[in-house]
Amino acid sequence: MRLSKRDELCSGCKSCILVCSMENFLKADPTLAALRIKAHFPVPGKYEVVLCDQCGECEKACPTGAIYADGEAYRVKPEECIACMACIEACPKGAIWFNQALGAPVKCVLCGECVRYCPRQAIVDETGEVKWGGEQAC
Amino acid sequence: MLGGYMGKGLRVNLTSCTTSTFDIPEDWARRFLGGRGFAAKILYDELDPSTEPLSPENKLVVATGPLSGLFLPGSGKLTFACKSPATGGYADSNVGGHLGPEIKYAGYDVIIVEGKADTPAVLVIEDDRVSIRDGSRYWGLGALATEKALKDDLGEAFQCAVIGPAGENLVKFACISHDFGRQAGRCGVGAVMGSKNLKAIAVSGTRAIPLAKPKEALEKGKQMYLSCFSKPGFYDWTPYGTAGVTDWVNEVGSFPTKNFHTGYFEHHSQINGQALKERILVTDKGCFGCPIPCGKYSRTRWQGREVMVEGPEYETIAMLGGNCCLESIEDVAYANYVCDELGLDTISAGNVVAFAMECYEKGLLTKEEVNREIRFGDLDSVVFLLSEIAARSGIGALLAEGVKVAAERIGKGSERFAIHVKGLEVSGYEPRYAPAMLLAYMTADIGAHHNRAWAITYDVAVGRDSLEGKAEKVIELQHIRPLFDALGLCRLQWVEIGFELHHYGEIFPLVTGIDYGWEDLIRASERIWNLTRLFNIKHITGFGRKYDSAPARFLEEPMPSGPVEGKLTGAKSAEQLLDRYYQLRGWSPDGVPTKQKLAELDLLEESAAC
């Protein structure tokens, strides 16, 4: 799976954020989501999806090995995180967030639910492996 | 603890500058659900009938619902409620965007704002850190400018509710604004906020909303999204949003035109959804959790000035377009922007401006009184009047009171074309040849507003001459539609793309743990409807049947032009509909809920205070 975004389609509804936190933590808590929507209003009037592209810079920056490659995704082992924030600073996309309650960062693990449930198809899987939910619904 | 609810309310007293929290009783959840149900319960219990709407004794209740902020379609609605400056009765107005969910993430189901701050204030909520801060530097700013300044000062994470100059100046139809273009527009909730010297509420939260059965709620939420994606309306409706209904309302001759003089506007193709999409649209702008965003963020220009505005939505197109006779989508969008910045409800504003124009045309308002010429179709006249109203300067001081009071003061027969019910201006559907819609406006608890029962489609579907089944349909809709405002949801997935109602009955117990199905939710909605009726009886001396009336224009003047020219439902039929409506509701012939009905709805405790 390879996620990419189409900001011009995003309408800022945050369905992606909620399905992300629910799928991965079974909690309705946007702070647990591994993506964000930036709203640029009142001007120029557009949304921006902040999304991890699995570049691996966080893994390189992590001094304890708490971030590791697992297939196509980089994952976090919370118990090994020392909250040094090196991964946060290293991320070129700003797509990894430290969560106080977890005591560790939250990052995308390529579950693909944002692709399935974004009503606007603003997040897509370039490989075509995960499809928009509307395709199966139709 | 129940799921879906945060279990806490926040009480803010601006007079004493104190805040406290309280537990939400489980009984409230079971009997009144949330949102407008909680608001009605709180206002009914806590407000003395002598309370003046714009006094410190009035309370502004901000209420979320048990389903808002969750992973399910349309979960972004929030209710603002108070004693109404427009009617003196119960008021609530809902807003989409992202504020409702954020209030829940901050840990609250309800915020109750009481008293009045000595100087302009801003209420800032970050989880359990609540502060009442000096808001002087924002006072006087437009609503859009205020929200931008607040985000610059506090951070993008904050979701804000703000008022513009109209709210500060206690204009009776001032709105509360959020997310650069969404408003709790109706009833003058912005004037109540202004009367408290409260310029803004800013909220940021980091908590999880508890769920009774998280896994099942997630699966049900997914099923609900997929169901929305499968509807033809998902593809057809979304590109135009609410503006897409403009042509249809014209075709059926119910498009408010020239102060509801008629129901057909010949320039409708210049102000419809297609014109919006092709000429001014910048981006779709959705509320929280919305798969079918009606928000259309646009760019328009007037007299060399380019502005950005969310909209126009259908109601704005109807009331500033048809009703004020503005002939281009660019003009309507600019008038929309002016209302948004000043903090005026576009529905009432379009109604009031058109009323003033008709008064001027008929010589009931003079050039000297208005301080210039005004005429239908002229954006300059519209902008002038909106600005005067927001500032309460010149003729604006009178018009800021709304059409009911303005007509009482102008007299000379202007009451006949002051288009309101109970003091709230009528919204965007001309109902004189649509009996169910007429009854819906007559009986809506907050005054004339379509969101309680958008019954005109039923009139058109089953025949507009017939009264058969109309009262039944209005009651059915008055229970279904406001239920969404109690649950914290948007109703448009159901209304516009045919998303099935049973889904809501199925997800409610998974979220809350309360063993309710759809019928139980409807019963709670009926309970809320009767409670707001009790509020009106308690607060308005002599409240009853005569308040459930319609303007003379709707009852006595056959449609002068358009597809339903010559048609009229008429006063006699309206009275018959009302008789039937009261009978079906279990109310007396004067519109008072019977003891039997109140017992059946478990409202005897409340009615004892009435």
pLDDT value of position A137? 54
One DSSP character per residue, B481-532 reads HHHHHHHT--SHHHHHH---THHHHHHHHHHH-----HHHHHHHHHHHHHHH
Task: Identify the three-state secondary structure at position B111.
Answer: strand
The total number of residues written for chain B in this structure? 610
User: What stretches of chain A show up as alpha helix (H) in DSSP?
Assistant: 15-25, 57-61, 86-90, 113-117, 133-137
Burial (CB < 10 A; 0-12, 13-18, 19+), residue B55, is middle
Contact B286 A12 (CB under 8 A): yes
Using CA atoms, how far apart are residues B257 and B266, in angstroms rounded to an integer? 9
Comparing alpha-carbon positions, the chain B residue that sits nearest to A46 is B283
Using CA atoms, how far apart are residues B124 and B130, in angstroms rounded to an integer? 6
Is the Cβ–Cβ distance between B244 and B235 less than 8 Å? no
Task: Identify the three-state secondary structure at position B229.
Answer: helix
List Cα–Cα distances, B141 to B137, B153, B346, in angstroms. 8, 15, 19
Using CA atoms, how far apart are residues A51 and A10, in angstroms rounded to an integer? 13
Domain boundaries, chain A: 1-51+108-130, 55-94
Is the Cβ–Cβ distance between B490 and B223 less than 8 Å? no
Residues of A in contact with B295 (CB under 8 A): 11
Is the Cβ–Cβ distance between B14 and B111 less than 8 Å? no
Residue A138 predicted with pLDDT over 70: no
Both tokens assigned to A88? 């946060």
Is the Cβ–Cβ distance between B511 and B33 less than 8 Å? no
Using CA atoms, how far apart are residues A44 and B249, in angstroms rounded to an integer? 33
Comparing alpha-carbon positions, the chain B residue that sits nearest to A22 is B218
Higher pLDDT, A136 or B434: B434
The sign one gets for the Cα dihedral B429, B432, B438, B442 is positive
- Kindly state whether B235 is in contact with chain A, defined as any CB-CB distance less than 8 angstroms: no
The amino acid present at B344, given as its one-letter code, is L
Is the Cβ–Cβ distance between B328 and B271 less than 8 Å? yes
- Across chain B, mean pLDDT equals 97
Cis bond before residue A44 (omega within 30° of 0): yes
One DSSP character per residue, B161-215 reads EE--HHHHTT-TTB-EEETTTEEE-GGGHHHHHHHTTEEEEEEE--PPBP-SSHH
Strand partners, B306: B301
Is the Cβ–Cβ distance between B108 and B7 less than 8 Å? no
Contact B308 A117 (CB under 8 A): no
Q: How many CA atoms lie within 13 A of B534 on its CB side?
A: 27
pLDDT value of position B82? 98
At CB < 8 Å, which residues of chain A contact B?
8, 11-15, 18-19, 21-23, 26-32, 38-39, 41-47, 100, 116-117, 119-120, 132-134, 136-138
User: What stretches of B402-501 show up as alpha helix (H) in DSSP?
Assistant: 403-410, 435-443, 456-462, 470-487, 492-497
Spatial neighbors of B333 by CB under 8 A, at least 6 apart, are B276, B280, B298, B300, B309, B311, B312
Using CA atoms, how far apart are residues A5 and B61, in angstroms rounded to an integer? 39
Both tokens assigned to B390? 């927001």
Name the class of domain A55-94. alpha beta
Using CA atoms, how far apart are residues B420 and B399, in angstroms rounded to an integer? 14
* Interface list for B 58-87 with A (CB within 8 A): 69-71, 76
Q: Closest approach of chain B CAs to the CA of A117, in angstroms?
A: 7
Contact B308 A120 (CB under 8 A): no
Q: What's the ipTM?
A: 0.97
Q: How many CA atoms lie within 13 A of B72 on its CB side?
A: 34
Domains and CATH numbers, chain B: 8-204 (3.60.9.10), 239-424 (1.10.569.10), 425-607 (1.10.599.10)
List Cα–Cα distances, B177 to B4, B132, B142, B163, B192, in angstroms. 25, 19, 10, 6, 13
Is the Cβ–Cβ distance between B459 and B435 less than 8 Å? yes
List Cα–Cα distances, B237 to A132, A133, B221, B241, B571, in angstroms. 19, 19, 22, 6, 36
- Evaluate whether A1-51+108-130 and A55-94 have a shared fold: yes
Residue ranges in chain B modelled with pLDDT below 70: none
Contact A137 B226 (CB under 8 A): yes
The CATH number given to A1-51+108-130 is 3.30.70.20
Q: Closest approach of chain A CAs to the CA of B112, in angstroms?
A: 24
Q: Return the DSSP state at B73.
A: T
